[in-house]
Structure 1
Amino acid sequence: MVVLAYQFASGVSERGAAGVRALRRVCLAAALPVAALLVLGLLAGIEAIDAGPMGTPLLLGGALLLAVMARLLFVRVTGAAFPARGERAVLGVVVAIIALCAYWAVGGYALEKGQADAVWLSRNLYLRPAILLDTRERLSVDWAGVRETPLPNVETGARYRYRYEGFRLLAQSGDRMFLIPQYWTWESGNVLVVPVGADVRVIFHPG
């Protein structure tokens, strides 16, 4: 964005005095919001205002990006020396902070996306596969919607002794299954991690 703005300024400045005057106004317009954005970013950082997970990095990063763009446009318009004494180090710090804010904003987006997906999942659990889970040992899970039933010992040495109903398959990764109760909620829901092996039997069923 800064590079494109600088190239645009170069083209406009070649049009003479009128172009230079227009670019001066653009520089001023780009610099004016910087202080306001920085203040808003700091207020969002201390949670004095609610700007969401991405608000603080976008406000701070945007303010610094505007400052850099305004400085480069000013240099292009006035022909001032660049970088000024000590400005190279400051510019390096500013660019590093902008990069950090970009990384921070991506993390905030991932957080918002994850929460939105969790809310959607809690409202559409019927779309996840329903399963019966047979185990050799008791799980001792007292979760809403999950029911434990002792299996009849119809034969000597029966491997599975307990059946659990009310689980749905959230995901499977390698030899582990992630199960959630059918009344799972994203705010306080539990997840049961079950190793796939001879100690458990998983039965998929409709519903």
Structure 2
Amino acid sequence: MAVELLGFVAAPLTALTSVVLYFGWNRQSAIYGYFGLDPTVLKFSVQDYLLRGVGVAFKPLAVLLAALVLVLVVKRLADRFGEHVSRWSSPVRWGRRVPVASIARAAVALGLAAWAGVALAGRFEPLVGAFVLASAAVVGGPLLHRGRRTFPGRAVVGSIVALAVFWATTVHATRSGWALAEQVDRHPTSRPALVVRSTAKLDFPPSLVAETRLVDQDGKVTYRYAGLRLFAYSGDRWVVIVGREPGHRRLTITTLRDDSTIRVDVVNG
């Protein structure tokens, strides 16, 4: 009993964790891909992806869950109605009745699946398409697991619903990441300002970043760079906004390794 209860709790939790992890990875890929930076160089950990994904993924997953619950309620009401409709079905020559409820269910499921196919081809809103695909599986599911062979049918339904969830997750994560990147691209001054001190000369465009050469009383040379903005920090990498170079539509961002040769100060302004 305890093992069954543990499995009942662990399976949905594992699936939810996988969705949130995938959401975080996809969103980070969209954010940095917008600026042409490969996010793998930032070495995000699993925890980073989970923390960056859970806050944004909660709303779409909650909406999808509520929508599926609504579909299940409508399906249950339709089943009740179908029981009454089947009594009114006209008999055919050999004495059987036409399964009106099953035919209607199959027609609705096929129509929803066709709608999802159109959305998958890029001719309709993909988030709606993902919901429609899940609805098609829920509505047409009973036709797949009638009789004794219930497990294969339920497995198909569960796989289709899972595919719809990952589809919706991919679309929303990409859009969310691009929206954040576009916001930063339009308003870079909304990000914190940085002052970088380095023992080695850094290759920043002089038209965008102010470089000051400093010599202390012992003759040690350091370089101070101002005009940078903080984009993010991950592991041992600072992701900094350099600025918008002439002729470029998007901001230039770069990474700095967080080691003993540089010092990064976050300042106001």
TM-score, normalised by the number of residues in structure 2 = 0.54
Letter matched to residue 4 of structure 1: V
1:4 and 2:82 aligned: no
CA distance in 2, matches of 1:175, 1:64: 41
Is the 8 Å Cα contact of residues 231 and 241 (structure 2) preserved in structure 1?
A: yes
Task: Tell me the SS of whatever aligns to 1:155.
Answer: coil
CA distance in 2, matches of 1:179, 1:129: 10
Quote the residue 1:202 is aligned against: 264
Quote the residue 1:99 is aligned against: 162
CA distance in 1, matches of 2:250, 2:200: 29
CA distance in 2, matches of 1:20, 1:166: 78
Is the 8 Å Cα contact of residues 146 and 181 (structure 1) preserved in structure 2?
A: yes
Name the CA shift for 1:171/1:43 in 2 (closer, same or farther; >3 Å): closer
CA distance in 2, matches of 1:96, 1:38: 15
1:169 and 2:230 aligned: yes
CA distance in 1, matches of 2:250, 2:218: 44
CA distance in 1, matches of 2:87, 2:208: 71
1:69 and 2:139 aligned: yes
Name the CA shift for 1:4/1:133 in 2 (closer, same or farther; >3 Å): same
TM-fit CA distance, 1:18: 9.1
2:198 to 135, 144, 149: 135
Is the 8 Å Cα contact of residues 144 and 181 (structure 1) preserved in structure 2?
A: no
State which drifts further: 24-33 or 113-122: 24-33
Is the 8 Å Cα contact of residues 179 and 194 (structure 1) preserved in structure 2?
A: no
| Deviation per residue, 1:105-160 (Å, 9 max, x gap) | 20221111000011111222212121221100112233762233322x241242x5
Q: What is the aligned length?
A: 187
Is the 8 Å Cα contact of residues 131 and 167 (structure 1) preserved in structure 2?
A: yes
Letter matched to residue 202 of structure 1: V
| Deviation per residue, 1:17-58 (Å, 9 max, x gap) | 59977x8496376245235325414533xxxx4x57xx2x75
CA distance in 2, matches of 1:203, 1:82: 62
Question: Over aligned residues, Cα RMSD in angstroms?
Answer: 3.8
| Deviation per residue, 1:149-190 (Å, 9 max, x gap) | 322x241242x5211121111233465432212438895632
Query: 5 Å matches for 1:16-27?
Result: 16-17=84-85, 24=101, 27=105
1:118 and 2:181 aligned: yes
State which drifts further: 133-142 or 25-34: 25-34
TM-fit CA distance, 1:10: 4.0
TM-score, normalised by the number of residues in structure 1 = 0.67
1:36 and 2:114 aligned: yes
Letter matched to residue 200 of structure 1: I
Is the 8 Å Cα contact of residues 145 and 154 (structure 2) preserved in structure 1?
A: no
% identity of equivalent residues: 26
